Amino acid sequence: MIKTAEDIFNFNETADACVKCGKCIPVCTIHKVNPDEVTSPRGFIDLLGAYKSGDLELDKNAKDIFESCFLCTACTEVCPKSLPTDMVIEQVRSDIAQKYGIAWYKKAFFLLLRHRWLNDLAFKLGWTFQTCGFKIQSNIDSMTSRFNLPMVKTNRVLPSLKFRSFLNSHKENIDNGGKRKVAIFIGCLANYNYKNVGEALLEILEHLEIDAFLAKDQKCCAAPAYFTGDFDTVDHNAKHNIEYFESFGDDIEAIIVPEATCSAMLKIDYEHFFHDQPEWKRRAKKVMSKVYMATEWLQNHTELEQILAKKKKLPNIVTYHDPCHARKMQGVYEEPRSLIHKNYNIVEMADPNSCCGFGGITMQTEKFHLAEAVGTSKAAMIEQTEADVVSAECSACRMQINNSMGIESKTVFKNPIELIAEALKQDNE
Ligand code: SF4
Ligand code: SF4
């Protein structure tokens, strides 16, 4: 049954609708590493119902519990009542942010996300000084901390910064002589850190003779702010992006996004976020109907698969991890596999659909021990496949998986877009 936003955000109804069957518990990411009823979807829903009825105070303990959900949506996939635990937790995090405030470093980060020029400046400064505190691991586009810092321990693998962002490295309109044109929404991690994802996407579009519009006025989709309860930043960035996309929407066929979280945020979460602003909700729904994950659009709307089928096979073994925001939220899992499979051997890991443990900014800082615990089992699954490459269309998964695998790992991470661009460089068979 499809739920309306009004149903979703009526916490009491959600709590009453839970039949306590427990089907969500074995798949719950936090429950796997903290097996306690209160940190399970059923427990969260009970507590949320009690909070909305006034029977539970939003004290530090409740805050700690509600901040321990990874928002992975694994529970919603199996729940017979389709209860949206992740979405009600996102809502209660806004109440938490209002009551307790947002930590200074998160506020500073969200301020950068609101202003592209400030972000460009901060990342350029970061690039200048990054080697003072970090060792660059160029083979995995990452860096490791030289020191034990409060939230960044020695050897923590983080994405390294680049001299110039992806959006600042190209002109806005790229004419590939085609009759078709798409816009690219690149996402912050691929713009500032994993820049090769965008470069690879441009190579693919050039090969397909599809013009690219880089939409340089795009702002961060605001997913990090949404997951942390900073709804002012979400409102600011979402309204900007909706108006901006409307301004060029008629000139392009699609807005393609090589990032699962950004794509899900634009396409699904904006509509939920604006559940109490009907006009913005309507506009979000209309303009975001042109948003697709990059592999989804390339597979379903171009001849790419047939072109790849003619190219020589590469010897690399690839294992594919399903980002929660791709498979569970958008149903995208066959498309990247179909495209990769044309030129690489795919070996599936034991549970490609289990969350990698990224979980958002709070999980990557204050609750990093939980992210690490989840990441360890994902890294073990990847290692068992003995794959050369682990792939996922998500840079947040990349950051988390790179850290979980560590710098000694023989398996490297590549976005499927990077694998496809490499395959296109091969001769025809
Ligand atoms: S969203 Fe994920 S971590 Fe949160 S309750 Fe559901 S399954 Fe558990
Ligand atoms: S699967 Fe759904 S209905 Fe069953 S306990 Fe979990 S949240 Fe409740």
Spans of all domains in the chain: 5-100, 304-424
Is 335's pLDDT higher than 60?
Answer: yes
Q: Please measure the distance between the N-terminal and C-terminal CA atoms of the chain and give it in whole angstroms.
A: 48
Is 5's pLDDT higher than 70?
Answer: no
Alpha carbon of 72 to ligand 1 centroid (Å): 5
Third-level CATH fold of 304-424 = Rossmann fold (3.40.50)
Kindly state if the Cβ of 242 falls inside 6 Å of ligand 2.
no
Kindly state if the Cβ of 359 falls inside 6 Å of ligand 2.
no
* 246, 287 contact by CB (below 8 A): yes
* 89, 48 contact by CB (below 8 A): yes
By three-state DSSP, how is residue 42 classified?
helix
Kindly state if the Cβ of 30 falls inside 6 Å of ligand 1.
yes
Closest Cα to atom 8 of ligand 2: 18
Alpha carbon of 76 to ligand 1 centroid (Å): 8
Kindly state if the Cβ of 39 falls inside 6 Å of ligand 1.
no
> Taking each helix axis from N to C terminus, what angle separates 294-301 and 416-424, rounded to the nearest 10 degrees?
40
This prediction's pTM: 0.93
Alpha carbon of 293 to ligand 1 centroid (Å): 23
Is 3's pLDDT higher than 50?
Answer: no
Ligand 2 atom closest to Cα of 22?
5
Same fold flag, 5-100 and 304-424: no
Kindly state if the Cβ of 44 falls inside 6 Å of ligand 1.
yes
Which two tokens mark 324?
């929660």
Q: Of the given ranges (114-123, 139-148, 372-381), which has the lowest mean pLDDT?
A: 139-148
CATH of domain 5-100: 1.10.1060.10
What pLDDT digit, counting tens, does each position of 148-198 carry? 776 677 778 889 888 899 999 999 999 999 889 999 999 999 999 999 999
What pLDDT digit, counting tens, does each position of 233-282 carry? 999 999 999 999 999 999 999 999 999 999 999 999 999 999 999 999 99
